[in-house]
Amino acid sequence: MSFSFVHAADLHLDSPFRGVTAKSPAIAGSLHLATFEVYNSLIDLCIEKQVQFLLIAGDIYDGADRSLRAQLRFRDGLQRLVDNNIQAFVVHGNHDPFKGHSRSIDWPEGVHVFSYRKVKTIPFKVNNSPVALISGISHENRNITTNLAKKFESQDPDLFQIGLLHCNVGKDTGHEAYAPCELQDLIKTGLDYWALGHVHERKILHNDPYVVYPGNTQGRNIREQNERGCYLVQVDDNNRVTSLEFHELDEIRWFWGFLAIDGLDTLDQLENALSGCIEDFSKKAGSRSLICRISLTGQGPLFNELSRENALQELLEHTRDSYEAKSPFVWVQDLIFECRPEIDLKKRREAKDFLGQVLRISQELSDTEEGRKRLVEEGLEELFKNRRASKHLQDITDNEISRMLKSAELLCFQMLEGDL
């Protein structure tokens, strides 16, 4: 018989947004509630579409220190499903390993949580006869490095078989290689649909059988832009997937835009351009709130004005003020200064004076890996190798160090020559 289900993953309930320093109570409140609101929308969608079951492929919570509130809200959502005759199949991932669940929170009847001991197969029955088989396994702890996919096998080819797993397929996913496996490992099991979790960007890795990452349900940092949500899957009488429909669920959307200062003569013009940029984001976000970052690029008369100390911070605060009271909210997370001065840096670098020397050294440092390494070891050692501080600076990438180097060049310019 035909049936439908929803496939979601990486809810990261009650997890904070990264890089947001908003102090406004309204924004902070929305951020606190965002993951819960999204989860509610997911449950609403299942009920509205009258699906037969919901699959959640791990990382329901953000950390092993998951809050009680999150666990109870999760349970309440599942209860809502069960009340509407919808079952739920859940595995835990690296962020919320199986062992962290509170024994005092009971799952409603009709919710199946897979343990970590071995792959278990649970039939989904209609009128007491099985229609689909759902196999799954949870992560035991945070650091599962074994290939869990290899533990799955086909049980009954006559039924629609689903594999529910939180894993890292392939090498370059941009995520930690927990429960690593290859696409072939999944395909050769003979299952019909792989409901995966872990990778936050949604992807359909394979069509027959389907190997699907729905992505996370809510973007939580500037790298997680674009729409976020879940897949609604329809299966026909012949156990064929007839449709795979993506549904947006996110409450707050992230944007990163670029604005060239070329041709802008006054700060007013720049402000207008920034407003235009933010308005574009607003249109794209629709009724959602948004958080954005804008990189200022290019060359222009405003370069000197913007390189003044605190100028960028003042501009940022001014821009934030303009959008402060907006609902849904608009939060400008930061303005990144990537403009270049109106001088010929190449020629300046060739000059034999002191500044020429500074620029040449800067280039040497940025050009080679050895140079960058030397810069971190010699120039940034005091903070970046400090025992207390270094562990919090892991997110500063090579690109950012290159950006700092560029900023430092400009700083040297300003200090040594007064202006540019």
Site residues (vs other proteins, CB under 8 A): 14-21, 28, 31-32, 62-63, 65-72, 102-104, 117-118, 334, 347-348, 350-358, 361-362, 375, 378-380, 382-384, 386, 388-389, 392-393, 395-396, 400-401, 404-405, 407-409, 411-412, 415-418
Q: How far is the CB of 52 from other proteins (least distance, A)?
A: 30
Q: Which has the closest alpha carbon to 6: 181, 244, 186?
A: 244
Contact status, residue 105 vs residue 78, Cβ threshold 8 Å: no
User: Is the CB of 102 or the CB of 243 nearer to other proteins?
Assistant: 102
Contact status, residue 163 vs residue 193, Cβ threshold 8 Å: yes
Q: Which has the closest alpha carbon to 252: 281, 280, 278, 220?
A: 220
Based on the number of CB atoms within 10 Å of its own CB, is 126 exposed (0-12), middle (13-18) or buried (19 or more)? Answer: exposed
User: Is the CB of 7 or the CB of 12 nearer to other proteins?
Assistant: 12
Contact status, residue 404 vs residue 368, Cβ threshold 8 Å: no
Q: How far is the CB of 307 from other proteins (least distance, A)?
A: 11
What tokens does 303 get?
Answer: 């370069």
Cα distances (Å, whole numbers) of residue 48 to 3, 62, 81, 213: 15, 27, 11, 23
User: Is the CB of 205 or the CB of 311 nearer to other proteins?
Assistant: 311
Contact status, residue 199 vs residue 168, Cβ threshold 8 Å: yes
Beta strand extents in 209-316 (DSSP E only):
210-213, 229-235, 241-248, 252-260, 289-299
What tokens does 217 get?
Answer: 């349900």
Q: How far is the CB of 354 from other proteins (least distance, A)?
A: 3
Q: How far is the CB of 36 from other proteins (least distance, A)?
A: 10
User: Is the CB of 49 or the CB of 356 nearer to other proteins?
Assistant: 356
Q: How far is the CB of 17 from other proteins (least distance, A)?
A: 7
User: Is the CB of 31 or the CB of 270 nearer to other proteins?
Assistant: 31
Contact status, residue 170 vs residue 182, Cβ threshold 8 Å: yes
User: Is the CB of 18 or the CB of 223 nearer to other proteins?
Assistant: 18
From first CA to last CA, the distance across the chain in angstroms is: 73
User: Is the CB of 40 or the CB of 234 nearer to other proteins?
Assistant: 40
Q: How far is the CB of 42 from other proteins (least distance, A)?
A: 19
Q: How far is the CB of 316 from other proteins (least distance, A)?
A: 11
